[in-house]
């Protein structure tokens, strides 16, 4: 009996320490494949939710462009009106998927608040991945230190990007129409084609 209990404890400890991709490799892999299937295309977006006092994404065209893809990294510029300063950088790691927000000045130099983000803390699902802010992000002033980001992919219909501040009502949500691709925008600031 003690031997069975010991084995059960060891198996539980091993499972608890396993990387996120091992536990839900199928769901995370499926989500990554859905993301890869968008490579090279651009999609129009709309602001769904934002704080009343923040007008950054209000009443301007939004376009996400799944511009650069490799087996383990996808770069998605977010164009807000004429502002090409933002790029979402997603990287597959041994532990899951990391999201970084790369912000650039018009001359291509890094913004003061960049690169912030986080990594998946669980396998998520084939539709949804969540990225809680990591320790490096919590050290950057005004970076969304207590944020959680979410990305959803609903094939053929929509891509969702959301950001929420933990413990507050402050949050953003943008939906992008995957059914109606648009022409690719110009390169983000700081990129060389």
Cβ-based neighbour number of residue 171 at 10 Å: 16
H runs (alpha helix) in 24-167: 25-36, 135-138
Cβ-based neighbour number of residue 189 at 10 Å: 19
The arithmetic mean of pLDDT across residues 24-46, rounded, is 93
The DSSP 8-state label assigned to residue 180 in this structure reads S
What is the predicted pLDDT for the residue at 155? 97
Provide the pLDDT confidence category of residue 25 given band limits of 50, 70 and 90: low
Indicate the fold that domain 25-177 takes in CATH.
Answer: Lipocalin (2.40.128)
Q: What is the pLDDT of residues 51-108, one digit of tens each?
A: 788 777 788 899 999 999 999 999 999 999 999 999 999 999 999 999 999 999 999 8
Q: What is the pLDDT of residues 106-150, one digit of tens each?
A: 998 888 888 889 999 999 999 999 999 998 887 766 655 678 999
pLDDT > 70? residue 12: no
Q: Is 183 exposed, middle or buried (0-12, 13-18, 19+ CB in 10 A)?
A: exposed
The arithmetic mean of pLDDT across residues 43-50, rounded, is 94
Q: Are 149 and 163 in contact (CB under 8 A)?
A: yes
Token digits of residue 147 = 């944020």
Q: Cα torsion for 122, 164, 78, 43, to the nearest 10°?
A: 80
The DSSP 8-state label assigned to residue 60 in this structure reads S
pTM for the structure as a whole: 0.83
Q: Which segments of 50-95 are extended strands (E)?
A: 62-65, 68-69, 73-80, 83-93
For residues 129 and 148, what is the distance between their CA atoms, to the nearest angstrom? 10
For residues 159 and 88, what is the distance between their CA atoms, to the nearest angstrom? 13
Provide the pLDDT confidence category of residue 152 given band limits of 50, 70 and 90: very high
Three-state DSSP state, 28: helix
Q: Which segments of the chain are extended strands (E)?
A: 42-49, 62-65, 68-69, 73-80, 83-93, 96-103, 116-119, 128-132, 147-154, 158-165, 171-177
């Amino acid at each position: 009996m003690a031997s069975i209990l010991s084995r059960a404890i060891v198996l539980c400890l091993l499972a608890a320490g396993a990387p996120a991709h091992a536990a839900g490799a199928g769901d995370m892999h499926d989500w990554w494949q859905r993301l890869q299937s968008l490579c090279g295309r651009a999609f129009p977006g709309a602001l769904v939710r934002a704080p009343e006092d923040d007008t950054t994404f209000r009443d301007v065209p939004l376009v996400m462009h799944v511009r650069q893809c490799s087996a383990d990294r996808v770069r998605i510029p977010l164009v807000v009106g004429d502002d090409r300063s933002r790029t979402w950088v997603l990287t597959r790691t041994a532990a899951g998927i990391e999201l970084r927000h790369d912000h650039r000045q018009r001359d291509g130099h890094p913004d003061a608040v960049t690169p912030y983000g986080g990594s998946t803390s669980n396998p998520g699902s084939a539709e949804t991945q969540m990225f809680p802010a990591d320790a490096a992000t919590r050290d950057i002033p005004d970076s969304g230190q207590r944020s959680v980001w979410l990305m959803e992919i609903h094939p053929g219909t929509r891509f969702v990007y959301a950001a929420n501040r933990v413990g507050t009502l402050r949050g953003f949500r943008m939906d992008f129409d995957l059914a109606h691709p648009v022409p690719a925008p110009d390169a983000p600031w700081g990129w060389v084609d």
